[in-house]
Amino acid sequence: MNTPLEARSVSLVREGNAVLDDVSFSVAQGEIFALLGGNGAGKSSTLLTFLGFLQPSSGEVLVNGQSVHADVAAARSAMAYLPEAATLYGHMSAYENLEYFLDLAGRKATSSELDAAFDRVALIDEARSRRLQSYSKGMRQKTAIALALLRGTPILLLDEPTSGLDPVAIDEFHDLVKVLASSGQTILMVTHDVYGACQVADRVGLLRQGKLVGSFTAKPGERIDTETVHAAFAEREAS
């Protein structure tokens, strides 16, 4: 089977600045890979490259074994992307948001399909027909994930998905991500949160100033050691 996500020696220049430098990694089906790095490390740029919004100056990104550059539409149809600030409408309910965005994507869902998706992300029943302006950030995030699930894409790209969430919402979110991965979804998330990355990921890649400078893999049945990754992060950031 084809590898869902692969970056092959990707270098990227944005407005004359080197943003990614010879970055290579791949994410297997059902795997959670966290790209960890400080501000400006190139995390969001990496996701935008997979989405075909940015083109590598050398190297290539592949989705399901196919070069994104060769067929951007095919790549995008395989991935759901949660940007840092999820773009949902405050004046519409969760139901209405999903109906609207699914319609834009050329898809329809019955109300029982919508409810099934909200059940999966544990968005409380009572909130679903309420306007999003009264939602917490965690509830908005759940709505955005429900939308991604309904699009039926096998790959999820998450940009700083837990920033601004309280610790309980973060735990819930991580549990959800793990459930999705164990049901076969491939997940690439980027974050500056060492603890969160170690808590949720099967593998963590450390990105510093556009270079992948470390890689940490969970031992079977264990989580990645936060102290180890924190020390590597801090050391690299200081040097």
Give the interface with ligand ADP as residue ranges (CB under 6 A).
14-15, 17, 19, 37, 39-45
* Residue with smaller CB distance to ligand ADP, 41 or 88: 41
> What CA–CA distance (Å, rounded) separates 24 from 212?
8
| Least separation in angstroms between CB 52 and ligand ADP | 15
The residues with which 32 forms a beta bridge, in sequence order, are 187
Residue ranges in contact with Mg ion by CB under 5 A: 43-44
| Partner whose binding site includes residue 222, from Mg ion, ligand ADP, none (CB under 5 to 8 Å by kind) | none
Residues, the chain: 239
- 3-class secondary structure, 155: strand
User: Residue 130 — φ and ψ, nearest 5°?
Assistant: -90, 150
Q: Which does 45 bind (CB under 5 to 8 A by kind): Mg ion, ligand ADP, none?
A: ligand ADP
Nearer to ligand ADP, 23 or 121 (CB): 23
Nearest approach in angstroms of CB 185 to Mg ion is 22
Please state the closest distance from residue 74 (CB atom) to Mg ion, in A.
25
Residue 126 interacts with, from Mg ion, ligand ADP, none (CB under 5-8 Å by kind):
none
Q: Which is nearer to ligand ADP, 45 or 143 (CB)?
A: 45
Q: In the complex, what is the shortest distance from the CB of residue 44 to ligand ADP, in angstroms, rounded to a whole number?
A: 3
**54 is in the binding site of which of ligand ADP, Mg ion, none (Cβ under 5 to 8 A by kind)?**
none
CA nearest neighbour of 79 among 177, 161, 147, 148 = 148
Provide, rounded to whole angstroms, the least separation between the CB of residue 207 and ligand ADP. 7
Specify the residue, 43 or 174, whose C-beta has the smaller distance to Mg ion.
43
Residues 6+ apart with CB under 8 A from 45: 12, 14, 19, 20, 54
Q: Residue 14 binds which entry of ligand ADP, Mg ion, none, with Cβ cut-offs from 5 to 8 Å by kind?
A: ligand ADP
Percent of residues in the chain assigned helix, strand, coil, to nearest 5: 40, 25, 35
- State the nearest-atom distance from the C-beta of 17 to ligand ADP, in Å: 6
Whether the Cβ atoms of residue 31 and residue 6 lie closer than 8 Å to each other? no
Report what 42 binds from Mg ion, ligand ADP, none; CB cut-off 5-8 Å by kind: ligand ADP
Using the minimum distance from each CB to ligand ADP, give the nearer residue, 23 or 117. Answer: 23
- Residue in 91, 149, 154, 92 with CA at minimum distance from that of residue 118: 149
C-beta of residue 13 within 8 angstroms of C-beta of residue 19: yes
Per-residue DSSP letters for 9-20? EEEEEETTEEEE
Given a contact cutoff of 8 angstroms between Cβ atoms, the answer to whether 58 and 46 are in contact is no
Considering the complex, state which of residue 109 and residue 189 has its C-beta at the smaller distance from Mg ion.
189
